[in-house]
Amino acid sequence: MQRDTEIFDLINEEKNRQINGLELIASENFVSEQVLEAAGSVLTNKYAEGYPGKRYYGGCEVVDKVENLAIDRLKELFNAEYANVQPHSGSQANTAVFHACMKPGDKFLGFDLSHGGHLTHGSPVNFSGRLYEPVFYGVNKETGLIDYDEVEEIAKREKPKMIIAGASAYSREIDYKRFREIADGVGAILFADIAHPAGLIAKGLLSDPIPHCHVVTSTTHKTLRGPRGGIIMMGKDFDNPFGEKLKNGNLKKMSALLDSGVFPGNQGGPLEHIIAAKAVAFGEALTDEFLYYTVQVKKNAKALAQAFMNKDFNVISGGTDNHMMLIDLRNKNITGKQAEEALGKAEITVNKNMVPFDDKSPFVTSGIRIGTPAVTTRGLKEDDMSRIVELIDTVVSNFEDETKLAEVKEEVLNMMQGRPLFSA
Ligand code: PLP
């Protein structure tokens, strides 16, 4: 067959964009060549509905081994008792948890989207807000931090069936132990969504939700540096009887409910090529090289936040404990949308983001979210962070000046030249 140059030219164009630019989107990263190879492998040809050893299709002997390896490596990485590697995305992992733990109409407590939560934590435009009844906690207006006393107060008042801890735009440690005490106090399930900081948690650089939460989900493509996808894990609660009664009168186990929440509850055939790529990424994450990488991600984020504050940028909560930060641009007379567009012209990629108590719409926003996982993979260190802030400052202060934007773009191209896209 003729080569499809139309699409492969575009793929090449995107590869060049990634190579040339400064990638500061907190949720993005660059996978290794081995992860890419597995994701582009013949495993994409295989149907394998079900789970290893219990499939609805023949010929699954090899993919069973692949999936079991992915499960074992993930359990080792997080010290988990249970793991499901089939969710196609973080959102689908979360959907499976809702299926397993609640009935439509049940009330749950999530982190407000405009304060840093995710769409799947109760947004009215998402299944979580449409099929269930969300109530929210947020951050304190002065400190930008989660106020656990307030979470407890809301939980006691609202009596949710499930509480979600975790965020898309929160730069601070999360106290999972305190969350569990709050959940236990009202008989709620505690569900942690660690989609963003998973890589740092895996290497012990942030507090660990596994000992405290009933269920933990994550994406695999952010700080974990794997293919796009989702996972579900459990610690000590994996064997808890829970939910519906079986025919013999016993309750199902949490783990069984989660498995069926993924398949057949919410997905059909698993993407075994992506599961293989997840296994490769988990193998990489188990190495010391990955530890050095995550330590550098954190160091870079600290240096970047400090450099922003030195230039009078308002970093929400006054810094970061993880890989990201949220910047309120209201003192800079530019919206998040304008900043995202102007920075894009200079080959600096960020995303506009609501800040807590934002007075602008999600399409405009007052802030930008910035993270260091991708630039750290490209080999940038603390010293580079102050240069990045100088470049961003120039763009923000001259966002309508095309000549200035072109000058910054030139500097970005120089900065990124000779830096490999793929991690070792
Ligand atoms: N949960 C959180 C906290 C996230 O930040 C994200 C993605 O940004 C997701 C879930 C959803 O992941 P996906 O985009 O793979 O559906």
Over residues 25-70, the pLDDT tens digits come to 999 999 999 999 999 999 999 999 999 999 999 999 999 999 999 9
Specify whether the CB–CB gap between 351 and 364 falls below 8 A.
no
**pLDDT of amino acid 149:** 97
pLDDT of residue 422: 78
Position 83 scores a pLDDT of 97
Task: Extract the tokens encoding 214.
Answer: 């009933």
**Binding residue positions:** 113, 117-119, 244, 361-363
Taking the CA of residue 230 as reference, the ligand 1 atom at the shortest distance is 15
CB of 95 closer than 8 Å to CB of 129: no
**Residue 241 confidence (pLDDT) above 90:** no
Nearest protein CA to atom 12 of ligand 1, as residue: 90
How far apart are the CA of 195 and the centre of ligand 1, in A?
6
Rounded mean pLDDT of 137-153? 96
The continuous run of DSSP H or E covering 234 comes out as: strand 230-234
Mean pLDDT for all residues in the chain: 95
Q: Which atom of ligand 1 is nearest to the CA of 89?
A: 15
Residues with CB under 6 A from ligand 1: 27, 89-91, 94, 118, 120, 166-168, 193, 195-196, 219, 230
pLDDT digits (tens, 9 = 90+) for 305-336: 999 999 999 999 999 999 999 999 999 999 99
Q: Give the number of the atom of ligand 1 that is nearest the alpha carbon of residue 121.
A: 1
- Residue 62 and residue 55: Cα distance in Å, rounded? 12
pLDDT tens digits for range 186-210? 999 999 999 999 999 999 999 999 9
Check residue 424 and give its pLDDT. 56
What residues are labeled active site?
A: 47, 49, 193, 219, 222, 228
Average pLDDT of the segment spanning 142-146? 94
pLDDT tens digits, residue range 258-302? 999 999 999 999 999 999 999 999 999 999 999 999 999 999 999
pLDDT digits (tens, 9 = 90+) for 242-252: 766 666 777 78
What does each C-alpha distance from 301 to 155, 223, 314 come to in angstroms?
33, 12, 15
What the chain holds in terms of domains, given with CATH numbers, is 8-30+288-416 (3.90.1150.10), 41-286 (3.40.640.10)
Tell me the average pLDDT across 354-380: 96
Q: What is the percentage of the chain residues whose pLDDT exceeds 70?
A: 98
pLDDT at 421: 86
**Cβ proximity of 235 and 177 under 8 Å:** no
